[in-house]
Amino acid sequence: MIKHNPEKLNEIVGQDTKKILLWLESPRKKALLIHGPTGTGKTSAVYALADDKNLELLELNSSDLRNKEKIKNIIGIASQQQSLFGKNKLILIDEVDGISGRYDYGGLAELNKVIDKTKYPIILTANDVSDSKFTTLRKKCELVEFVHVDYLKIFELLKTICERDKVKFDEKKLKNIARKNNGDVRASLLDLRASIVDGKVSEEGDDREYVREINEALKLVFKSKDVNVLLNAFSNVDEDLDEILLWLDENLDKEYSGNDLLKAYEMLSRADVFRGRIIKRQHHRFLVYQSALMSAGVGLSKSEKREGYFPYRRSTRILKMWIAKNRNSKRKSIAEKLARKTYFSTRKAYKEFDNYVKFLKDEKVASELELDDDEIKYVEDF
């Protein structure tokens, strides 16, 4: 059976684990939070650390310890009790983003208290802690980000495992497994296991489609400099290119600055040019250029990786456009009513609206034009 259980921290594929070791040896904070996409080795890294340093590991899954009382009575007590075997102890709280603010009221607040009082180091793992409810938790923890792993590194891992277990393989098939899982090591290992028939990697296997979240795709673009990774960053995202372009535009300044930011915006503007040609001329072959500029173009605009935690947010442009359109529709409807009563064009009434506002605020005029409540409010707020 194919297995890969790293016994040392430096065996974790494709991640910078030095920060984890530095934190354990000289912690500035009592807890460490490892965050990143599923299957990138977060939990495995903690197990490897415990093996490496001969620590007693106590693993607790936050999905089973969601509310205030359970966190206090189980995690709280564990953080105070001495190890049964006389070893130094390490506490792992897995999937901490499984704690919901609404249904598990008080759970996060209690966890923050446990971190303040703990006698032993605590490591938490999470896929995404960008929500504002995790703000206090992020401040209490050292942050280590795990990223999607380059498919060639995953390929090398799969190759090593096959050679170790004497499984016959074709390199192209292993690369296909690594590539299709988009940086997910665990999924690649599961697919490798499923594809082995009679001691050989077969053509068949798990062909499930992987759907990547937009936040994961943005991290790939903003953090990676590998062209193959960048070009495929949005290939499995359940958003259209127009929506992705807005996401990029909204979040570029979090990850880029100075000349890098200028280059990235130039790539976005070029992508928007192709978008316009696609809409106007129906030249759909330009989609590949639009996508490449938005992924590889933006990704390769950075000269260096920017350190820190930057939660990405959905663009507010659509909302602003809707508000503007809504306001313009009020102006237009008032102009049409004014034009009917005064016998000049709607276009002129709309264009010279500012000149009539004071006149329109008169109650008798509003009544004569039959302005509704929303239109009256629009005039009053103008």
pLDDT at 268: 92
Report the alpha-carbon distance of residue 67 to residue 72 in Å, rounded.
Answer: 9
Q: What is the dihedral of CA 277, 278, 281, 284, to 10 degrees?
A: 140
312 alpha-carbon distance from chain centroid? 7
Indicate yes or no: pTM above 0.75: no
By 3-state DSSP, what share of the chain in percent is helix, strand and coil, each rounded to 5?
A: 55, 10, 35
pLDDT tens digits, 323-382:
666 667 888 888 888 888 777 788 887 777 778 778 888 888 888 888 887 788 888 877
pLDDT of residue 301: 92
pLDDT reported for residue 207 = 47
- Averaged pLDDT of the chain: 82
pLDDT at 262: 93
Residue 293 is predicted with a pLDDT of: 93
- C-alpha 249: how far from its chain's center? 15
The residue among 154, 293, 288, 302 whose CA lies nearest residue 224 is 302
- How far apart (Å, rounded) are the C-alpha atoms in residues 180 and 350? 55
Q: What is the DSSP string of 69-116?
A: HHIIIIIIHHTTSPPTTSS-EEEEEE-GGG--TTTTTTHHHHHHHHHH
pLDDT of residue 205: 47
Residue range 105-148, pLDDT digits in tens: 677 888 888 899 888 899 999 888 887 888 888 999 999 999 88
Of all residues in the chain, the percent with pLDDT exceeding 70 is 87
What letter would DSSP give residue 345? -
Tokens of 71: 């966190």
**279, 347 Cβ separation under 8 angstroms:** no
Region class of 20: left (phi > 0), else alpha (psi between -120 and 50), else beta: alpha
**Confidence tier at 267 by pLDDT (50, 70, 90):** very high
Alpha carbon of residue 58 to chain centroid: 29
Is the CA virtual torsion 300, 303, 304, 308 positive or negative? negative
Asked whether the beta carbons of 337 and 369 are under 8 A apart, the reply is yes
What confidence score (pLDDT) does residue 127 get? 86
| pLDDT tens digits for range 14-69 | 898 999 999 998 888 899 999 988 888 999 999 999 988 888 888 876 655 666 77
Helix (H) or strand (E) holding 348, with range, is helix 346-351
Nearest to 254 by CA among 287, 218, 281: 218
What is residue 203's predicted lDDT score, i.e. its pLDDT? 56
Segment 277-305 shows an average pLDDT of: 85
Distance (Å) of CA 61 to CA 65, 83, 111, 124, 364 = 7, 19, 13, 10, 68
Cross-strand pairs, 122: 31, 91
| Band of residue 100 on the pLDDT scale cut at 50, 70, 90 | low
Spatial separation of the C-alpha atoms in residues 145 and 14, rounded to whole Å = 12
Confidence of residue 219 (pLDDT cuts 50, 70, 90): confident
For residue 237, the 8-state DSSP code is B
pLDDT digit string (tens) for 60-97? 766 556 667 778 878 788 788 776 666 788 989 888 88
Residue 5, pLDDT > 50, answer yes
Q: Quote the pLDDT of residue 1.
A: 46
